[in-house]
Chain A
Amino acid sequence: MSTAKSLPTWDVLSKHGVFPEANNEEISRLNFLTHLNVHLSANILPGVKTAYEKTVLPAYIKETGKEPTTRHEIRKAMLDNPYFQMWSGLRRNTMEMRQQAGRSQVLRQIENLVERVEAYNKDASTLQLNDAITIPPNVGMVDIHCQPGCYYEEYFENDVTVAASYDLGLFVTTAGLLGALSDGGGKAITHWLSKDHPDFKPKRILDIGCTVGHNAVPLAQAFPDAEVIAIDVARPSLRYAHARAKSLGVNNITFVQANAEDLSQYEDESFDFITTSMFWHETSHESMPKIFKTINRLLKKGGLTINLEQPQYTNMGLYEQFIRDWDTYFNNEPYWGPMHELDLKKVLNESGFNGESMFEVGVVSLIDEKIFGKREAGDSGEDYGRAPVWNAFGLWK
């Protein structure tokens, strides 16, 4: 007999200085959605696999005389399967409900949130917004992961709605695996560095596509003497990120509105550490080599770039590829699939790096005991696309 295990409540998240308040009903709603997501992946998703193996695959073989050879063939065959349809419909809808819940919670207190953000940001030289920066197509084409307004839309002056809603809602799709400050990825990088490269002490760090700074802050905390530059194109996210970092007592990050394709304001070889977190799958074929070239130009000899990203599809079973690819078509992540089938070494080579020196590593952060208490031995929270082990690739220049 298996006993049901309770999930952490959203309310364990750390309330930094610009975190939206939540009343009891809002907390109930976010907890309900978290439970619904876990239920869909733990209890319903296995049924999708069964439907594939027992019904869809045999029918496909019967009809075509061969096994599917691409994830796209599987997807097209699955689209008519009633169980896949129900799971997909529920999953899509849960994402939309999470967006509505976050936005309504943020909007009811937006005036107060903006005031709090302003109090931290007023006259700060460490927040550098630039009106001339436009939203590139890889960010503006669709609202990524069904987040209305994406990372950048502003509904009025000094708005931070989309950023605050993003911050409070990540928990719903990860059930706490990212930690109380949603910074597990960045912490995993610094944990790995302290273990495997204890002598690496970067003085100047660049974090590209920082959004609200979830994974830039732990870098700045791990290297308090370093100057960290965190860039993004999205103004509301940068405003919020800056205030959030200040409220956490982190003063060595400068948040800059800039396009990673053109960072000509920074000198060649002026950074010894360049990071991205869950960034590349939201870029494009056009921008990716440009940004790698920028990284190559900015990185010092002997410097390190490390990039947290979901694993590439190479060497992955077709069914798992198909499930991971769901977001590409059904969760407004159009570049997810194309990015994950790239030969990264080749992209690096074409961007001036020596692709052969690329390494891949699974980085792990310590479990956040604020959320989970002490972990039981043998526990694993594996879930497609949201595993607590972060896949990373990188290279030393």
Chain B
Amino acid sequence: MKFSKFYLALFAGALAISACKKEKLESNSVFVDSTIEKNPLDNYIYNNFILNYNVDILYKYVDKESDLNYNLIPASYNSSIRLTKLFKYLGFEPYDDVTGSKAFIKRYFPKLINYIGEAAYRNNGTKVLGTAEGAKKITLYEVNRLTATTGVNADFLTDSYFHTIHHEFQHILNQTTEFPTSFNAISGNSYVDDVWNTTYTSTGAAVAAGFISPYSSSGAKEDFAELYSFYITLSATQFNALLNSTGSTAAGRTIINNKLIVVKNYMLSVWNIDMDVLRANIVNRKANLASFDQTTL
């Protein structure tokens, strides 16, 4: 309601300007917002995300915010409710707890989160699960896979959404304050760029080469974000299982652990975040998923 009046006043004002300048309005001028009817999810997003974190969630399909190279379908209303509530629970609140306030997310998290119903599929058989554009926007795909069943499957939530979210967030922290160049030296020239998915076809093979995942081998920045995200979203048991995947080697694990120390130090010294405390918080939240209400707005 407030918004519509605001826009209307603005529109009238804009016309006044054009009158003065004797210019026609450009087609990208301010338009009356036709979707003024707010539903419960709109209100939830406004009260919990915009007011608290200055972050907006586009759960309705917005053409200009979507990648037109792909055939995309919108997120469903019900899955959007679940993801929005879970986003706060598993995405934001762990940082609030560890840093002591909402200020950290409010200051550094991308201002726009975009939901898409299914993955963006390429004709070569691969698909896109998440993207980040600079520090401004994170797009999450496969939102419609989120149901009453998958919603309480902590591994599903991590693999499908939260690994991506924390990975992308790490990139943004790195853009604000770069991680030490000593990290780059550890794997040196063994990064393989675009051919990561053909160079390492299993986690074990990647670990043997000193990478926590095949994708980690694509470059130092990706490696850094992957190490961070895997570490904080997985329990110690799960992370160790990853390190000991079939095909892995002790030599590879040593390289990974050496890099992990740099990541931990960076988070602690630059951001005052102890990754083990953050991990404990997230793991605890995952363990309590069954009692978390993901449908009531």
* Real binding pair: no
Chain B interface residues (CB < 8 Å from chain A): none
